[in-house]
A and B are shown apart, each in its own frame.
Chain A
Amino acid sequence: MTAVAEQTNRGVRGPVEDEFDPRTRGIGLVGKLAVFIVISVVAAAATEPILLGAVFVGLLLLTLSTGLKPKTVLGAIKPIAPVVVILFVFSSLFYKPATARQDFAHTVFANLVQTDFITLTISAGGLLFGLGIVIKLLLVMIVSIYLISTTPTEQLLAGLQAIKVPNAIGLMMSMAVRFIPTMSSEVATIKDAQRARGAGSSRQAGQRRQPVQGTLPLFVPMIVTSMRRADTMAMSMVSRGYGFTKERTIMARLHVGFWDYLAVGLGVVATVLFFLGRASLGFGIL
């Protein structure tokens, strides 16, 4: 491979630039992926709310230490509040206290329904199980936010390239992210144009009155405009020579540093210890 091709494949940045880039310090994509896998596995396998609560606090501290604002995390949780409540109620009521491993979970406060097919009870075990399920849900949500929101897009694309995902998929994703604000402003423009021509605000999509009727006049022009935009974009891609070389160059390299190795190592140890403790002592099981 020629020096120029090697330089292009390596990207424009060298190891010195990487060392001083603040985004490559701390845990990188590989470490975050390890954290994501470990927490997803623990969330799926554990049922005890104390263990899940401890993992939740640790994850929250880790997420907030990356500079992510608590408002962002709360903002993500708020819309699913009804789901959280439904999940808590269903999982608490359907829980069978007799199956609990710990004695205090066997306490039954009230038998609501008791038939051959269905048993609904309010029990200490049920309430703890419901709490555990809610913490699990929050765990998988926050770890997903941690993985995606705290990783720069270029690093994610480098990760996708490393696992041999076609370059076009990464390119599409980055182009889509780039166009979200443009599309949002276009939606506002179309709404303004319709309002200026006498369309009542009550017929706008997402409004309380007649919300469904408003979607058709909003989306059809949006899609037509999008097609025009795609046409122009394809022409500019061709004029810039897209698809004329075999390999695609990428600015960011997948950086694996000390913190990544530490995260992977700790993740493996924690997972092994968790499953050993679960199998021998019933650790993490309600």
Chain B
Amino acid sequence: MTSNDAQAVDEVPQEARIVRSTGFFTPIRISRMAVLIALSVVGAFVKIPTPIGSPALDSVPAYFATMMKKWDWKEAAIIAVLARLLAAATEGFPLGLPVQVALGIGNASWVAVVVRIARLRFGYIAAIVATLVWAVVISLASPAMLMFALGLDFQSAFALGLTGIPALLIAAGIAVVVGAAAARAVQNTPLSK
């Protein structure tokens, strides 16, 4: 850039300058996260009929994103949180918005950090095991949320958490397997960039 060009740039008012965004939120990241969030909401309508309830498959895209080696871990975290919130909005916020936000953040941290580390270091099987462990952990941790949000006493909150374990295990198990299968299908194609 010559000195004349630099002077010309200085004369342009600050608000009129064009600045290209080079941060985390690039167009390809925004668009793929948006599409995967939409897919999560659609997944929330696909229920698996079980004797103890009908767990949905809204977390498949988040598991898919966390399995993709070339993607940033933050993408999986954002998809997990926003997908949980949007899916909960379509279902009428079961247990209320604060509990859903807490569940979304907890789920996102585990999926984007623990499951991703398991996947990158030890492979798909380790990621599936980490997910199943999470299903048990969140079921046992949910009493704290229920006690805080609804004022439940410890015993009934704990009992309620225990009853949720089978449905969560089924849903999380199916979601992580489907996410891993999709990641394997897309991993080495141009679509993964």
Q: What is the interface of chain A, defined by CB distance below 8 A to chain B? A: 1-2, 5, 36, 40, 43-47, 72-73, 75-77, 79-80, 82-83, 86-87, 90-91, 93-95, 118, 133, 136-137, 140-141, 143-145, 147-149, 166, 168-169, 171-173, 175-180, 182-184, 187, 205-206, 208, 211-212, 215-216, 218-220, 222-224, 226-231, 233-234, 237-238, 242-247
Contact = CB atoms under 8 A, between A and B. Distances in A.
Contact of A172 (B33, B45, B160): B33
A206 B28 contact: no
A204 to B, nearest CB: 10
Contacts of B148: 44
B105 to A, nearest CB: 14
A184 B153 contact: no
Contacts of B91: 76, 79
Given A2-B13, A212-B174, A180 B94 contact: no
Q: How large is the interface on B (under 10, 10 to 19, 20 to 34, 35 or more residues)?
A: 35 or more
Given A172-B33, A173-B82, A215-B46, A140 B98 contact: yes
Contacts of A228: 191
22 contacts: A43-B96, A43-B150, A44-B151, A83-B94, A94-B156, A137-B95, A140-B97, A141-B93, A147-B97, A149-B89, A172-B34, A176-B38, A180-B41, A211-B48, A212-B174, A216-B181, A219-B43, A224-B185, A224-B186, A226-B36, A230-B28, A231-B191
Central interface residue in B42, B96, B148, B159, by most chain A CB within 10 Å: B96
Q: Does more than half of chain B's interface fall in helix, strand or loop, or is it mixed?
A: helix
A86 B159 CA distance: 9
Interface of B: 13, 15-21, 25-28, 30-39, 41-43, 45-49, 53, 57, 60-61, 64, 78, 82, 86, 89, 91-100, 148-153, 155-156, 159-160, 163, 174, 177-178, 181-182, 185-186, 191-192
A206 B19 contact: no
B64 A136 contact: no
